[in-house]
Amino acid sequence: MSRPRGLFVTRNGFQGWQGISNTRREALARAVEHGEHDAPVYLGARVITIDGVILERSERELTHESEALTGLLSGQREQITIDHQGLTRWANGRVVLAVAESGRRIKRGVHAAVFQVQLTCADPRRYGEDQAFPPAGTARAPWVSHRGNFPAYPVIEIPGAPSDYSITSPGGTFTVTGATAGGTHTVDLRRGRVFRNGVEMLDVGVGNLWAIPPGARWQHSLSVPGVVRITDTYI
């Protein structure tokens, strides 16, 4: 009550941001045998729930703040950045629930309403800082790592790129052939797509895709000088 205005998260009212929220797998029983076949486990969407209270000095202000809350993001997909326990992480998500109960006066000059907001992130991973290897300039054999706790996909940038080149790491080799030379080429190893100055070039890249495990340092060998970028990835 020392600050009778604004939105406040209640105790234990912030759930779902850290750790694995849910998983999914296809169970397949062993025929005429005990147990099941080992099947991959995939992460489900991340669901974040925030419970709190709105405090305002008048019923009119409380209604205005409640309506602003329930219209949050208006169903659009946006980057959600959360500062929590001294760290900043982000994910892309949508608001799937935003409600605020009818306000009530709890003491002279203070009106309150309870609210709940729920967000869904189709990609459950959380992201932090971007890293570049080398930090300045370009290199042919940079060592690449990240500070996250989940495998992270690198992105390779080739300034003044030729039409043909290759990228090799412990995860395999990705080769680009027949691309339009010149400009800056970007190779996204999450999806195996190649871009020139931000415009995708079709059917020019083929090979392995890889993510760098947490705590590992992988050397990337580039046939032409470039920069390997990676984002700290968390679950």
- 146 pLDDT band (50/70/90 cuts)? very high
Output the CA angle 60-66-70, nearest 5 degrees: 145
For the segment 114-138, what is each residue's pLDDT rounded down to a tens digit?
999 999 999 999 999 999 999 999 9
Q: Which of 80-89, 96-105, 203-212 has the lowest mean pLDDT?
A: 96-105
For the segment 157-184, what is each residue's pLDDT rounded down to a tens digit?
999 999 999 999 999 999 999 999 999 9
Is the Cβ–Cβ distance between 106 and 187 less than 8 Å? no
Give the pLDDT mean for 219-225: 98
H-helix or E-strand spanning residue 70: helix 59-70
Task: Return the closest-CA partner of residue 8 out of 160, 112, 90, 92.
Answer: 112
Whether residue 142 has a cis bond before it, omega within 30° of 0: no
Please classify residue 130 by burial: count the beta carbons closer than 10 Å to its beta carbon, then call 0-12 exposed, 13-18 middle and 19+ buried: exposed
CATH of domain 6-124: 2.40.30.200
Neighbouring residues of 31: CB distance < 8 A, sequence distance ≥ 6: none
Is the Cβ–Cβ distance between 66 and 100 less than 8 Å? yes
Report CA-CA distances (Å) from 99 to 44, 107, 177.
Answer: 24, 23, 53
Neighbouring residues of 64: CB distance < 8 A, sequence distance ≥ 6: none
For the segment 32-75, what is each residue's pLDDT rounded down to a tens digit?
999 999 988 999 999 999 999 999 988 899 999 999 999 988 78
For the segment 190-207, what is each residue's pLDDT rounded down to a tens digit?
999 999 999 999 999 999
Which one is the CATH code of 127-234: 3.40.50.300, 2.60.120.860, 1.10.10.60, 2.60.260.20?
2.60.120.860
* Domain residue extents for the chain: 6-124, 127-234
